[in-house]
Amino acid sequence: MEGYFGHLYYDTGTFYIADACGIHCIDRSTSLRWHNNRLAIDGVIINDFTENSIIGSGEWDPPGGWRDFIINRQTGVNIS
């Protein structure tokens, strides 16, 4: 984790852990599938899951400077 633990999410057999800068994707066998630490500097929130993507917000300019993001659900790579 970078900075601090933010939130724990669970969707379709996979855990997503948000910290200060990004998201860690953990599969059912507790293996790290991917990690994207370029989503924020002070907090990440997942707003929705789609079949192929994760939609969320990251705080880049605290307090209140949130920017939306979309990342690939399988790889964690930024789409937007």
pLDDT tens digits, 11-42 = 999 999 999 999 999 999 999 999 999 999 99
pTM: 0.93
In-domain check, residue 80: no
Give me Rg for the CA atoms of the chain.
12
8 A C-beta contact, residue 10 and residue 48: no
In-domain check, residue 45: yes
pLDDT for the residue 7: 98
In-domain check, residue 78: no
Domain count along the chain = 1
8 A C-beta contact, residue 35 and residue 24: yes
In-domain check, residue 42: yes
pLDDT more than 70, % of the chain: 100
In-domain check, residue 79: no
Domain of 25 in residue numbering reads as 5-72
In-domain check, residue 65: yes
Q: How many residues does the chain have?
A: 80
Average pLDDT (53-75) is 97
Average pLDDT (52-73) is 97
In-domain check, residue 77: no
* Helix, strand, coil percentages in the chain from 3-state DSSP, rounded to 5: 0, 60, 40
